[in-house]
Amino acid sequence: MNLVLAWLYPDSMSIYGDRGNVIALTRRAEWRGIALEVWRLPKGARLDQLPDLVMFGGGQDREQRLIERDFLELKGETLVRAVEEDVPVLAVCGGFQQLGHGYRDADGSSIQGLGILDASTVAPSDKARRCIGNIVVEAHLPDGDATSGGVLVGFENHGGRTRLGKCEPLGRVLKGFGNNGEDGQEGARYRYCFGTYMHGSLLPKNPWFTDYLLLQALRRKYGPEITLEPLDDALELRAQSAAIARAR
Ligand code: GLN
């Protein structure tokens, strides 16, 4: 079996180590003998074929502004189709904001989003009030007729406050700010498209979620009977426990 991962803006939208999400997906696939090819899609590169997975990292407001039109015009149409066809997508922070309706920065200028996630983000005019720190979230996600999930740990650093409309959150904040520091929600979910504020990077310390994304991509491509053999996650879970301890 093989998978193709579209990595959007690998050089400009990969702040706080979000490239670690691509490394985690690649390694956990390879450790099961599954080849994972990465399509690097910087500014100017068109996404015109459906991948099996998509990763869109975070970036400062400046980087988001620089890719705003490119994202809408060269990646947007295929990305919308991918989400509607249940391709798993992980978008972090700035990437999350641009999968939503958009982002209005502290100076009041707006960045237009794709609107896949019913989420809107506004940064307070007081730039000092950023949401920064270790974060712990509890997530329960649809998995066929059942659900799967557990604890997710990460690191957040965002000025934007996100409010959800009709879409579900990724999870519930146990420690940290989350979308806005008020409603206890973190991230957003629509079909298998996930937005989150969790950098860290997120996936290396949360192996269940990495496997969840891989399994959805494999089942979509090869059929619902596909399973993933368990790995020895002792090191990953020690890292997760250490992060939870730091958060608390
Ligand atoms: N513009 C965003 C914010 O500050 C993005 C920051 C990020 O991606 N870390 O809210």
Q: How confident is the model at residue 73 (pLDDT cuts 50, 70, 90)?
A: very high
Task: Take atom 1 of ligand 1 and give the residue whose Cα is closest.
Answer: 61
DSSP-derived letter for residue 98 is: H
What's 7's domain CATH number?
3.40.50.880
| Per-residue model confidence as pLDDT tens digits over 190-217 | 999 999 999 999 999 999 999 999 999 9
198 in helix, strand or coil? coil
In three-state secondary structure terms, 17 is: helix
Centre of ligand 1 from the C-alpha of residue 220, in Å: 31
Q: Assess whether the C-beta atom of 157 lies below 6 angstroms from ligand 1.
A: yes
Q: Which of ligand 1's atoms lies nearest the C-alpha of 13? A: 8
Our count of domains for the chain comes to 1
Adjacent-strand bridge partners of 119: 164
> Residue 5 Cα, ligand 1 centroid: separation in angstroms?
23
Could you tell me how many helices (H) and strands (E) the chain has, helices first?
Answer: 6, 14
**pLDDT value for 217:** 98
Active-site positions read: 93, 199
State how far the alpha carbon of 63 is from the alpha carbons of 58, 70, 73, in Å: 9, 12, 16
- The whole-chain average pLDDT of the chain stands at 96
Q: Using a 6 Å cutoff on CB, does residue 101 contact ligand 1? A: no
In this prediction, residue 104 carries a pLDDT of 97
Calpha distance 70→68 (Å, rounded): 6
Whether omega before 125 lies within 30 degrees of 0, making that bond cis, reads no
59: Cβ below 6 Å to ligand 1? yes
Query: Is residue 145 pLDDT above 90, yes or no?
Result: no
Domain extent, residue 197, equals 2-247
Going from the Cα of 229 to the center of ligand 1, the distance in angstroms, rounded, reads: 36
Strand pairing of 119-122 and 102-104?
Answer: parallel
pLDDT score of 128 more than 90: no
Residues 56, 13 contacting (CB under 8 angstroms): yes
Average pLDDT over residues 5-33: 96
Q: Is 10 exposed, middle or buried (0-12, 13-18, 19+ CB in 10 A)?
A: middle
Report the share of the chain in percent with pLDDT over 90: 95
pTM: 0.97
Residue 123 CA to ligand 1 center (angstroms) comes to 9
Q: How far apart are CA 111 and CA 132, in angstroms?
A: 22
Atom of ligand 1 nearest to the CA of 160: 10
Per-residue pLDDT, 144: 79
d(CA 102, CA 214): 28
**Cβ atoms 112, 237 nearer than 8 A:** no
Q: Which atom of ligand 1 is nearest to the CA of 92?
A: 8
